[in-house]
Amino acid sequence: MTMLFGKFADVLLVLTGTPGGVGAARDPKVFLKPGQVVRTVVEGIGECVNTGVEDKP
């Protein structure tokens, strides 16, 4: 991974999601489904959009 610094060099965001097993520990179990979108927005900086896909066996 390459991190590029510029205008916001004093701010570093690393988005890693949640620890493994968080959805599995719920009752009922909750997981993202293919096509569901997770959007993270940092006002004034931008947004990160991730779309769920089917897990390969």
At 22 the pLDDT is: 83
Max Cα distance, the chain (Å): 44
Asked if the bond preceding 57 is cis, omega within 30° of 0, the reply is: no
> What average pLDDT does this structure show over 26-30?
89
What is the share, in percent, of the chain residues with pLDDT greater than 70? 67
Task: Give the global pTM.
Answer: 0.53
What is the pLDDT at residue 5?
Answer: 63
Give me the pLDDT at residue 57, please: 79
Q: What's the pLDDT band for 35 if we cut at 50, 70, 90?
A: very high
| Per-domain boundaries in the chain | 21-57
pLDDT for 36 beyond 90? yes
